[in-house]
A and B are shown apart, each in its own frame.
Chain A
């Protein structure tokens, strides 16, 4: 019994390998759809992982200011008062702004120079060095390439006040994505560039692990104008946002996969006629309907497995090698159509399982009717 099933499986594999034209047409469309779906899911997963890792390494509490119910810049003197709240270990005020450079929008991140040395920035791969003096800046790889900057170049930032800086370092393409279009500099310099030395964008508050909630509450009680978010809350919003975007993306592609089922059914039906002569002959030679059915069904499963594997490999190639052009921009804000920076992506085993499940399901469902109809071919119909 086992040998018979093995023979049928090997016959199915031989049929697919030696006669690929038929399944190739039907499968190629499915491969592309599945590859794009997997690419999107991988980018979504990678972004989420990278964001969570950055959050994990960051402060336990984030503070902004409430003006008319919306996030606003924090007055510097209010930020300094946070140091007196119980549980606060360290405060890092930041300026996070946008500036136009040669028609491009860049993010300017200003933090105290002392923080630059201890932060994740210091552990990034980069050419040159982290800024060590007020007039030095670290520039993201994508921005540097766009502006033709190198280590040692002079960069002029002019939002409200023109300031000249020296590029001390350029991030590597493998650095976190947020840095690709960023300019990192000293806090005071950033304030000067934007012409506002009285405010900061937000304050990162470092607290002992496990006490984020308590400190957040204490800060809120100290001044109701603070808008306080714990790390966990920010993480939840990050994840929900990523997941929702990934889900919407996947839903659109699920629609495409659903349409692939009748497409495969139609193509299978059109390709069935030459197959019927072969099946008629097999049945004339003593193959039963069940055996023919098993062989043809196994062919569909093998095609589905092949589709899933190729789609997975293509997705990896598309994202890791080509940088997911046009697609990455859907998931990452402010990213160009053809990004230079490394796109965060995670290809996991569950994703492969999902790909195989989808590939096999679509090919099986699509070819079900033709499989049944072909297997029921009466030999006399093809022998006349």
Chain B
């Protein structure tokens, strides 16, 4: 993908989920930009993020991410794309419960053959940026909601992906923690990562370069 090509390009994308329909959507995200995604609950924000991440498939339309046409990729291809280019902060803070915080943060480095010592070192760097130094060997169930949030963000950002999708990264955290998370995301943006952040947080919207609002599955201009 050349620098001029959009990082994400959705063309007439539609996704049906029961009675709810998302789209048709036409979205273009320029590389290295931060786009805020807002809208009421049930507007389809998570569905949109899942489509862009390749976790879900569109019923019609065209989704192109980091130069790859998701419709032409099979499950393995989409997984490979996520592995190499996309980081996701899920709305559900899912972790591998029996792994430590450091192991959870570095879990996506395992299939790359990165040695354990290097994985730990890289996890330590990301956790320090998010104010979680000393949490390396803690177990995830012992963490507070805000701490779990930050661990999830660190996990998504550890490979400095080309595209980072975040679903409510500052939900249920205090203001100071929220600022830390947003600064972390801003740093990634400054280093060239394209961000699509779904959030109700006003300060997240203020940091964004662009704004998309979803209502009832449609973009509001």
Contacts and interface: CB of A to CB of B under 8 A. Distances in A.
B50 interface: yes
Interface in B60-108: 75-76, 79-80, 82-84, 88, 90, 92, 94-99, 103, 107-108
A15 B103 CA distance: 12
Contacts of B110: 4, 7-8, 11, 287
B113 A4 contact: yes
B75 A285 contact: no
A356 to B, nearest CB: 26
Interface string B183-196: 00000000000000
Contacts of B103: 14
B108 to A, nearest CB: 4
A273 interface: no
A4 B83 CA distance: 14
A307 B53 CA distance: 41
B213 interface: no
Q: Is the interface of B mostly helix, strand, loop or mixed?
A: helix
Chain B interface residue bracket vs A: 20 to 34
A281 B55 contact: no
B83 A284 contact: no
Interface string A272-283: 000001101111
B56 interface: yes
A339 to B, nearest CB: 45
Contacts of A282: 96, 107
Contacts of A289: 75-76, 79
Is the interface on chain A under 10, 10 to 19, 20 to 34, or 35 or more residues?
20 to 34
Interface in A273-316: 277-278, 280-289, 291
Residue with the highest number of chain A CB atoms closer than 10 Å, among B50, B90, B94, B107:
B94
Given A10-B116, A286-B82, A286-B84, A281 B111 contact: no
Interface string B116-152: 1000000000000000000000000000000000000
A284 B90 contact: yes
A8 B75 contact: no
Given A7-B113, A291-B111, A285 B55 contact: no
Nearest to B115: A3
A56 to B, nearest CB: 56
A18 interface: yes
A260 to B, nearest CB: 26
Nearest to B167: A383
A286 B110 CA distance: 10
A300 B113 CA distance: 21
Contact of A383 (B50, B79, B98, B108): B50
B28 interface: no
Nearest to B17: A384
A382 B108 contact: no
A15, A285, A291 pick with most chain B CB within 10 angstroms: A285
A277 B55 CA distance: 14
A287 B113 contact: no
Interface of A: 1-4, 6-8, 10-11, 14-15, 18-19, 277-278, 280-289, 291, 378-380, 382-383
5 contacts: A8-B111, A284-B53, A285-B88, A287-B83, A289-B79
